[in-house]
Structure 1
Amino acid sequence: MHRTFRLACTVLVLTLFPLTGVFAGSKYVYDFNSRCQQAYQSLVSLRIAEGNALLREELKDNPNNLIPVLLANYDDCLTLLFNGDPNEYSRRKANLDKRLDLLEQGDEQSPWYKYCIGVLHFQWAAVRIRYNEYWSAGLEFRKSFIQLKDNRKLFPSFRNNQVLLGLEEAIVGTIPDSYKWISGMLGMKGDVRKGTAQIVDFLSHRDGSAALMREEAIFFYCYLKFSFLSDHKSVWKYLDESVLDFRNNHLYAFMKANFALNDNKAQLAEQVLKGRNTGSEYLDVPVFNYQLGTALLQKMDHDCIAYFQQFLNRYKGKLFVKDAYQKMSFYYLALGDLPQAINYKNKIVKAGSEQVDADKQAQRYATNIQMPNPFLLKARLLSDGGYYEQALDELKGSRAADFPNTADQLEFNYRYARIYTLMAQPAKAIPFYEATIRAGANRQEHFAARSALEMGQIYEQQGLNEKAIACYRKCIAMKNHDYKSSLDQKAKAGIDRLGGNK
């Protein structure tokens, strides 16, 4: 669901080799040699200091090599994305222009020239989104898109283009119809399936440039399949059959834990997070504590509170802070400890930001006088974690009509539907989804929109494409509900998958 550090060119280049020294008048090369490959693998595993040490060695021996300039940017990107420290961002953001100045002195006849520049623009687009600079992020994204698209025309056999350009075209393919004119005006067109297919093709080759930088191709492929194409089964099959190192590669550990938490597999997430290498050589990533706290919350384990608190104590950013406090409040509310639930609820209002849907929802919870129904909340937490039988045990013996609150009636029906869906009993789920939509299509709660989305996914799996598209469109048509942006994106991706826009 879902990257930081210093050094890079400023330290690697300006400190070790001033521009007026070794680099001036030199002939630059792009040598992705074994030491650079090792540095790359260290960086994407989040062993940042180890990767930077290798880059310093490479620049000392080969000061004309521009690949370390490219790889130094992974430090900034990963550190800033994972740790979210605004002071760190202020210190590092000047690195982009310094690196671009160096890369633009490279050989324009090399396929690495535009590729490296495109990578830097894309990575800083992601960073700028992280720090709420959407206009600057859009400009960086467009620059990257154009560089990589031009590079594909000039060097069609350079397979590395496929990875990032495939990802970008997939992202553009999920832009809502109402904003398509913007991407068209900016010269960007995309399709989720075609973009993913480019990455698949890259991974099917191990020759030439396709032998390099596979780690991020795997990462992007899995996220596109899981989040944009909703093909969870294929992703789990791929991960189960792969030889990926989830213990020593923290980026992979983060990815697998994130997928597990978003696919009702809290026990698996807990296993991955507790099984990762916790050596001091790894980047400190507070979000691992947030993930583990979530996994433990979903089985009502009291240790979740300590992990959420560690996340809040160590994290310098603002994303998911409100959500963490809400989860702590939820634990005590489901447990029946109302004073503690209110205590953590009161912490939400002034904490963090409202940049992501989860934090927006947490803020609404904090400002709402009415508390969630503890009975339904406990069932929700258990079902979210994949503990379906325990969740059903909480619901049995009750009916929607037993709840005087309309929101509780909606959640009761949705919760039954969701549990039956996850237990592979769609025939039992659909009537509950339909009841939720009838009663909640015009309400702020997200249950009706999510019901439409999940019904669409059921029909899509059954090959009933017209019914699926109708459900996805119904989801998008619902206004002003919680999680609208994320649900709309998934519904839009579903329509694209089925050719509903043709």
Structure 2
Amino acid sequence: MHEIRQVVLETKATPEALSPGARRAYAELLKLKVGTCRQLLAAEPATAPGTLLVADCADFVALIISQDASQYEATMAAHDARLAVLEKTPANALRDYAQAEISLHQALSQIGFHHEVRGAWNLRRTAGLMQAVATRYPAFIPARKTLGLCQFGIGSLPEGYHWFLRLLGLRGSVEEGLRNLGLAATQPNDFQTESQILLALIRESYYKQGSESLALAYRLARDQPDNLLFNYLVVSLNKRQHHGDEALAAYRTRPTGPAYYPLGFVHHLAGDLLLYKGDYAASLAENEQFLREYRGDYYRKDAAFKLYLAAWLGGAPPATCERYRQQINLGGPLTIEEDIYAQRFYHDAQTLNATLTRARLQTDGGYYAQALSTLQQFRLTAATPARDQLEAPYRRARVWQGLGRLDSARADYLRTLRRSASLGEPAYYFAPQAALQLGYLAQAAGQRAAAKAYFERAVAYPKHEYKNSTDQKAKLALRQL
């Protein structure tokens, strides 16, 4: 507490901050009004550190949202040009912070656009720069945001990446990362809202604190109804928390117009939400729009898979279903787990069970009563494939958990583990996820030894569709214990 109090006292005396004009431009950027942000910056001193930083944020946001490879080289050149100007600028906290933040934008862009080695080395440089800023200017709170994000991101990577981190000389700390992010989120600074959002997303994704994160998103969206980013957070977090109707309601009332940077990915989210609800024609339309507008490589396989599901469950002709299935196999990286899952579905030529698939989608949307009714139609026979034998109890467990019937959920999760063992532990995600959920349930009940055993069991399963994210969540939960 003494350190935090000292940092707060020093913060009040720190003169380096964004100019009023740069602050207004940054506020417009948070609304995803990239053009408005750039117009406001045109009236600011072109070589001021704050101007360069916010301008770089605008370019980074445009590149990451659009995923447009044709913008990549120009954006990299703009990063370099701004860093060259800052190198000639007198040192102060904002100048040094801008250098490190722009380096981070560059590293993340390189990694995202398949220049992983260059990006990793740049990330190493960024982590060092930001640590130096935090050490040299302990009262400059924005540095805690980026340093904390780097520390958490590096510290939470699955074990399979540790050799690479050691090679780069990168060391992370989940606890230090959360502490620094917490400082930036709770103390007044130009980037406090951004820090609050980052911390909320981490807590929701890794620490099961979805209610708190949703409350923040709703508060932000209520305070700024014209903010597309805050609306997107409400849509995305409700979707992740299985609140399908609430997510759709936010999507349908999102701010629109030419002032906003095109957010093609939101149509993919809507496609999922409508698929959960069983509105297959509308789901098809949203994912088709996503594929038309989106310029990136990621999520294309996943979108094609969802198009296939909507067509198949909606009773489309077999030729139409097959056309969407073949679309999964078109070019694109196997980087994110959703695309990996879709590609595996294609290559394995899986025959999905319509009842279990419909129940899965209903559960994902939070329509638990409908999902339970659907699952009652499933019948296990001697001819039932191993995958369906595992999926059935797992799906029931997810429904029971959603309905708050935790004893029934535990019983079906345990049934999933036993059946997986009896089948020779096939490489599906049902048993690892069942172990992870049993760990969470035991942790919530204060059963630390049981929770530890289940989290370790979740990590121990070999390669499956969601191993990276499952391992990451289980390892973070073990640290909490």
Q: Once the 2 structures are TM-superposed, how far is the Cα of residue 252 of structure 1 from its aligned partner?
A: 2.1
| Contact kept in structure 2, 1:169 and 1:195, CA below 8 Å | yes
Match of 2:258 in 1: 280
2:191 aligned with 1:213: yes
Q: Once the 2 structures are TM-superposed, how far is the Cα of residue 483 of structure 1 from its aligned partner?
A: 1.4
Kindly provide the amino acid, as one letter, of the partner of residue 448 in structure 1.
A
| Contact kept in structure 1, 2:141 and 2:184, CA below 8 Å | yes
Kindly provide the amino acid, as one letter, of the partner of residue 457 in structure 2.
K
Match of 2:76 in 1: 93
Match of 2:418 among 424, 435, 438: 438
Q: C-alpha separation between the residues in 2 aligned to 1:178 and 1:89?
A: 29
Equivalence map 1:302-381=2 (5 Å): 302-337=281-316, 339=318, 340-381=320-361
Cα-to-partner distance string for 1:92-148 (whole Å, 9 max, x where unaligned): 22122111111112222x112321111112122222222122212212221111111
Q: Once the 2 structures are TM-superposed, how far is the Cα of residue 497 of structure 1 from its aligned partner?
A: 2.0
More displaced 10-residue stretch of structure 1: 323-332 or 128-137:
128-137
| Contact kept in structure 1, 2:186 and 2:192, CA below 8 Å | no
Match of 1:195 in 2: 177
Match of 2:472 in 1: 489
Q: C-alpha separation between the residues in 2 aligned to 1:51 and 1:164?
A: 22
Equivalence map 1:416-435=2 (5 Å): 416-435=396-415
Cα-to-partner distance string for 1:186-234 (whole Å, 9 max, x where unaligned): 444333343223222223222xxx2x12231122111111113232232
Match of 1:111 in 2: 93
Cα-to-partner distance string for 1:24-72 (whole Å, 9 max, x where unaligned): xxxxx9661111101011112210010001111113xxx4422111111
SS in 1 for 2:262: coil
Q: C-alpha separation between the residues in 2 aligned to 1:377 and 1:494?
A: 29
Cα-to-partner distance string for 1:396-439 (whole Å, 9 max, x where unaligned): 25454576111011111110011111222221111211121233
Match of 1:168 in 2: 150
Kindly provide the amino acid, as one letter, of the partner of residue 55 in structure 1.
L
Aligned Cα root-mean-square deviation (Å): 2.0
Equivalence map 1:70-149=2 (5 Å): 70-108=53-91, 110-149=92-131
Cα-to-partner distance string for 1:132-178 (whole Å, 9 max, x where unaligned): 22212212221111111111111111111111111111112212345
2:373 aligned with 1:393: yes
| Contact kept in structure 2, 1:245 and 1:252, CA below 8 Å | no
Match of 1:56 in 2: 42
> Relative to structure 1, is the Cα distance of residues 423 and 496 closer, same or farther in structure 2, using a 3 angstrom cutoff?
same
2:440 aligned with 1:457: yes
Q: C-alpha separation between the residues in 1 aligned to 2:339 and 2:143?
A: 35
| Contact kept in structure 1, 2:244 and 2:273, CA below 8 Å | yes
> Relative to structure 1, is the Cα distance of residues 369 and 427 closer, same or farther in structure 2, using a 3 angstrom cutoff?
same
Kindly provide the amino acid, as one letter, of the partner of residue 355 in structure 1.
T
More displaced 10-residue stretch of structure 1: 394-403 or 370-379:
394-403
Q: C-alpha separation between the residues in 1 aligned to 2:119 and 2:478?
A: 26
Q: Once the 2 structures are TM-superposed, how far is the Cα of residue 263 of structure 1 from its aligned partner?
A: 1.7
Match of 1:7 in 2: none
More displaced 10-residue stretch of structure 1: 421-430 or 336-345:
336-345
- Please state which structure has a larger fraction of its residues in helix: 2
SS in 2 for 1:93: helix
Kindly provide the amino acid, as one letter, of the partner of residue 383 in structure 1.
T
Match of 1:33 in 2: 19
Q: C-alpha separation between the residues in 1 aligned to 2:220 and 2:194?
A: 15
Equivalence map 1:252-267=2 (5 Å): 252-267=230-245
Match of 1:225 among 203, 208, 214: 203
More displaced 10-residue stretch of structure 1: 484-493 or 171-180:
171-180
| Contact kept in structure 2, 1:266 and 1:386, CA below 8 Å | yes
Q: C-alpha separation between the residues in 1 aligned to 2:359 and 2:313?
A: 9
SS in 2 for 1:50: helix
Match of 1:16 in 2: none
Q: C-alpha separation between the residues in 2 aligned to 1:463 and 1:338?
A: 52
Q: C-alpha separation between the residues in 1 aligned to 2:221 and 2:400?
A: 33
Q: Which contiguous aligned blocks of 4+ residues in structure 1 show a shift greater than 6 angstroms?
A: none
> Relative to structure 1, is the Cα distance of residues 118 and 227 closer, same or farther in structure 2, using a 3 angstrom cutoff?
same
SS in 2 for 1:57: coil
Task: Give me the TM-score of the superposition, normalised by structure 2.
Answer: 0.91
Q: C-alpha separation between the residues in 2 aligned to 1:427 and 1:112?
A: 54
Q: Once the 2 structures are TM-superposed, how far is the Cα of residue 246 of structure 1 from its aligned partner?
A: 6.2
Task: Give me the TM-score of the superposition, normalised by structure 1.
Answer: 0.87
Q: C-alpha separation between the residues in 2 aligned to 1:462 and 1:140?
A: 43
Q: Percent identity?
A: 26
SS in 2 for 1:303: helix
SS in 2 for 1:452: helix
Kindly provide the amino acid, as one letter, of the partner of residue 35 in structure 2.
A
Kindly provide the amino acid, as one letter, of the partner of residue 367 in structure 2.
Y
Q: C-alpha separation between the residues in 2 aligned to 1:300 and 1:258?
A: 19
The count of residues paired between Structure 1 and Structure 2 equals 462
Q: C-alpha separation between the residues in 1 aligned to 2:117 and 2:233?
A: 27
Q: C-alpha separation between the residues in 2 aligned to 1:229 and 1:484?
A: 18
Q: C-alpha separation between the residues in 2 aligned to 1:454 and 1:403?
A: 29
Match of 2:132 in 1: 150
> Relative to structure 1, is the Cα distance of residues 174 and 64 closer, same or farther in structure 2, using a 3 angstrom cutoff?
closer
Q: Once the 2 structures are TM-superposed, how far is the Cα of residue 443 of structure 1 from its aligned partner?
A: 1.4
| Contact kept in structure 1, 2:217 and 2:233, CA below 8 Å | no
| Contact kept in structure 1, 2:108 and 2:119, CA below 8 Å | yes
Match of 1:22 in 2: none
Q: Once the 2 structures are TM-superposed, how far is the Cα of residue 240 of structure 1 from its aligned partner?
A: 4.3
> Relative to structure 1, is the Cα distance of residues 238 and 278 closer, same or farther in structure 2, using a 3 angstrom cutoff?
closer
> Relative to structure 1, is the Cα distance of residues 104 and 234 closer, same or farther in structure 2, using a 3 angstrom cutoff?
same
Kindly provide the amino acid, as one letter, of the partner of residue 133 in structure 1.
H
Kindly provide the amino acid, as one letter, of the partner of residue 98 in structure 2.
C
| Contact kept in structure 1, 2:221 and 2:230, CA below 8 Å | no
Kindly provide the amino acid, as one letter, of the partner of residue 369 in structure 2.
E
| Contact kept in structure 1, 2:158 and 2:468, CA below 8 Å | no
Q: C-alpha separation between the residues in 2 aligned to 1:42 and 1:133?
A: 30
